[in-house]
């Protein structure tokens, strides 16, 4: 089963595709989609949507996984995250993909064993689980972590 992990953000959305074969995880691809901070909001959201749709078209995942939304102390940041998330999830919906949403603590627990894990611990575990893989950046690492957690949680809602 191919799983697309997503870490949505307006400035840089991470994505990662893995193949889950039983308990075996194989890296397929990963990357980041950056938007121009000077561009109008509608153009940035369109770019995110189109880029995620292209990833879906290129890799043909069976399902997608994304972290659940969280609230920042800054309402504007929360709103921008929600808009970016909407564009990314709409690309998944347009492709007919089921999307599993997982709390950040659950993703960390599935990878590291504790929901209070630091980013460095998650990235270290990625190196263990996906040896030799070149990860395109922190957002791509987070997206791979979400995909792996989804595979480990074994939820298949089809």
Q: Please report the domains of the chain, with CATH numbers, ordered by start residue.
A: 2-153 (3.30.420.10)
Q: Is 150 labeled as catalytic in the residue annotation?
A: no
Banded model confidence at residue 158, pLDDT cuts 50, 70, 90? very low
Active-site residue (options: 46, 139, 150, 156): 139
Where is the binding site for Mg(2+), in residues? 7, 67, 139
Looking at the DSSP bridge assignments, the partners of residue 101 are: 66
Q: Active-site residue 7, yes or no?
A: yes
Does residue 3 carry a pLDDT above 80?
Answer: yes
Least Cα distance to 54 among 27, 88, 19, 25 occurs for: 88
Mean pLDDT of 101-122: 90
pLDDT score of 71 = 65
Distance CA 92, CA 147 (A): 14
pLDDT at 38 over 60: yes
Residues tagged in the binding site annotation: 7, 67, 139
Percentage of the chain lying above the pLDDT 70 cut: 96
**Which candidate in 7, 21, 68, 118 is catalytic?**
7
Active-site residue, 67 included:
yes
17 phi and psi, to 5 degrees?
-115, 130
Q: Is the pLDDT of residue 135 over 60?
A: yes
Point out the catalytic residue in the list 62, 67, 98, 142: 67
**Across the beta sheet with 98-102, what order do the strands follow?**
24-34, 12-21, 2-7, 63-67, 98-102
């Amino acid at each position: 089963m191919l799983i697309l992990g997503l870490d949505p953000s307006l400035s840089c959305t991470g994505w990662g595709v893995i193949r889950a074969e039983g308990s075996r995880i194989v890296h397929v691809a990963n990357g980041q989609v950056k938007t121009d901070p000077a561009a109008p909001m509608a153009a940035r959201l369109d770019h995110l949507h189109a880029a995620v749709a292209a990833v879906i078209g290129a890799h043909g995942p069976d399902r997608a996984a994304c972290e659940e939304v969280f609230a920042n102390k800054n309402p504007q940041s929360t709103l921008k995250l929600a808009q970016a998330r909407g564009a990314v999830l709409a690309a998944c919906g347009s492709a007919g993909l089921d999307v599993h949403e997982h709390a950040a603590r659950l993703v960390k627990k599935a990878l590291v064993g504790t929901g209070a894990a630091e980013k460095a611990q998650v990235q270290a575990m990625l190196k263990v689980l996906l040896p030799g893989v070149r990860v395109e950046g922190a957002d791509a690492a987070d997206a791979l972590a979400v995909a792996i957690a989804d595979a480990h949680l074994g939820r298949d809602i089809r």
